[in-house]
Structures are given as structure tokens and as C-alpha cells.
Structure 1
């Protein structure tokens, strides 16, 4: 169920774009994201900071796209989101001496501090990579190519998260059942 909630805005955006155009797709994305956040809030009784940032960026960049009738805004939203994430994670460690990943996920899993630091830095690099690749596709390819990249580009985060899972699994403590 959660995976469906996570992906339905992008799937609806893709469908609306293919059936109509980028502007209808953008409106559908905005509405679907509002519904998505409502569902998440209903289920979890809260929205994470990332949810709030994503919603704000979609609404701001989507509104600019629709009001100014300029598709560049919605195409640059992922670049801004990933860049903000990279900057936030990097500043947290280097300036405030806080590891946001550990703060967010530390209650769910226990890992040594050096592992948390490596994970944080890998996320910074990943976010920079995703920001740059989206910027490149948005700037140098057609809207059609960018929309296809957005849909099929979800392979990047899936591969990244699976790889992180393999890395983390080496450090997780398991409770062996006693016979």
C-alpha cells in the first residue's frame, strides 16, 4: 500500500502528460501530491520534513509552470529538491555537527557512528548526482525525454536504496533465537 501511495503522483503525472500535455500533467501532479500527503497524514498522523519540502516545491514550481505557462519550472523542481537535500545533509554534518540520517532513522536501526557518517556522505553524493543529471536532462533534452527520464529514472533511487540496504545489513545486530 505504501509503495502505491509513494508512486501514484508520478504515475498520474506521466499518464496525464502522455494523454494531454505538460500543463495538465503538472496540475494532476499537484493535485495527486496533495492527496498523497493527505493520505500519509491520515495514516501516520504526521508529515516528515521531506514530505513538506516536496509538497512545497511541487506546489511552488507547479504554480509557476501553470501561471507563467513555462514548463522549465516543473522540470527544474527535482534539481532544486536534490540540491537542497545535498546541501542540508552536508551542512548538518559540517556546520552543526549533526547527522540528519541518524536523527531520522536512528530509532529504527542501530549502526556505528562511522557507518552513519558514511551513509550521510553517500546520500550527499547521490543527491548531487541526481540534481546534476536532472539538470542536464531538463536543459538539453526535450520535455518528452525529460518526462520519460522522470518515470524510468526511478530506477536510480531503487538501486541506490537496495545497495544501501546491503551495506547496512552488515552492521545490523540480529537477535538470534535461543534454542
Structure 2
């Protein structure tokens, strides 16, 4: 049985989508390394009193919040919609970022990847095992075809992957320095995700109706 998920949108060009996803993360990294470039702009968002050790991560958090909201707005202007995954991630960024700055504690921004990845992993696996429904197309907003077995396998793999990312984030922030965690978040999580996504290509081709018709 072939199942096609069509969101009714062709989506943004890959380069634009990458810029909207990586732009806030790049600013997060730069603001953590060079907070003095950003504090004149985001000063009102920062805690009134904070230790020198937290200037970088707090500045990065404030910049990340603003940049994430801007990226979501740009996405909406270009597509007249905001995909579920960036929207949920953005809500968590703003919520946990606000708690980080309000409570003067960087724990909350470090927990953000754990919360988001656990949420997506739980939703995917829960939908698969509790309701026998692959929810992956809804989360990713994908427009392509797979047979029923392909959707189940791909949903299971991504669900496990998200939970693995959540566990990895917990290990990194609990055992490494804040600067190392920031670098990992920017230069580690995205490449790992891209490599995992590319590794699913054989599965997608195997269960694609177009490829099956050729064989």
C-alpha cells in the first residue's frame, strides 16, 4: 500500500531553509564567544547581576531567542506557514531561554535539546506503537511517497535517533564545559543529523513506489 503525504506546500529552497535553521545557531555560537558584540543590543534581556562566567552563555541565549523568533517570522512570510518542527523547537527556545535569563541559570537552555528531541522521539514512537500510525510526515512536513512498511521503518528509526540525541545532549552538558557544549550544539548535532538523514536514503529508495516500478 502506497501512502502519500502532501502538505500542500512545495517548501522553501534548500539553501533558504538551511539559512533559517543554521542562522540562529551560528549567532548563538558567535554570541557565546564574543558577547561584547551583542550586549549593547540585547542588554535589557540579560540578568541585572550575573557572574563573568555566564556573560557568554546568557548573551548567546538572548541572541538565540531573538534570532529564532525572526527566523520563524521570515519562514511564515515566505511560506505563509511555519512547519511543526521549527515551531515547537522555537517555542521551547523562547520558553527555556526566558527561564535561563529570568532565573539566572544556564541549566534551562542546556536542557532545551534534551526536551525537544525527547518530545519528537516520544511522539514518533508513541504514535507508531500506541496507534500504529507513522507521524513522521506530519512532523517533517515532507512531500514524498513511501509504502506503509517504509513509513513505519523510517518513523521508528527517526524516533530512536531523536531519543539518542537527547541522551547525547545530557552526557555532553553534564560532563563538559559550557563552551564545549555550545560548540557541540552548533557543530555536532546538525552534522550528526544530516549524516543520519543521508543514511536513510537506501530505505527511502527501497520503499519508494517510483523505484519499485523501475525494478
Runs of 4+ in 1 over 3 A off after TM superposition: 102-107
Equivalent residues in 2 for 1:90-101, closer than 5 Å: 90-101=125-136
Number of equivalences = 176
Q: Using the alignment, how far apart are the partners of 1:166 and 1:30 within structure 2?
A: 37
2:88 is the counterpart of 1:73: no
**Alignment-derived partner of residue 99 in structure 2:** 64
Aligned-residue RMSD, C-alpha: 1.9
Structure 1 residue 78 displacement after superposition: 0.1
**Alignment-derived partner of residue 83 in structure 1:** 118
- Match for 2:199 among 152, 163, 172? 163
Equivalent residues in 2 for 1:129-144, closer than 5 Å: 129-144=164-179
SS of residue in 2 equivalent to 1:47: coil
Q: Using the alignment, how far apart are the partners of 2:204 and 2:25 within structure 1?
A: 28
Tell me: CA distance 1:97–1:107, structure 2 relative to 1, closer, same or farther (3 Å): same
Tell me: CA distance 1:104–1:49, structure 2 relative to 1, closer, same or farther (3 Å): closer
**Alignment-derived partner of residue 46 in structure 1:** 81
Q: Using the alignment, how far apart are the partners of 2:140 and 2:89 within structure 1?
A: 19
SS of residue in 2 equivalent to 1:124: helix
Tell me: CA distance 1:103–1:35, structure 2 relative to 1, closer, same or farther (3 Å): closer
Tell me: CA distance 1:104–1:150, structure 2 relative to 1, closer, same or farther (3 Å): closer
Encode CA deviations 1:83-119: one digit per residue, 9 max, x unaligned: 0111111111122232112455697222111111000
**Alignment-derived partner of residue 155 in structure 2:** 120
Encode CA deviations 1:24-70: one digit per residue, 9 max, x unaligned: 10000000000000011011111122222111100111001111111
Larger Rg: 2
Which has the bigger relative contact order, CA under 8 A and spacing at least 6? 2
- Match for 2:71 among 36, 40, 46? 36
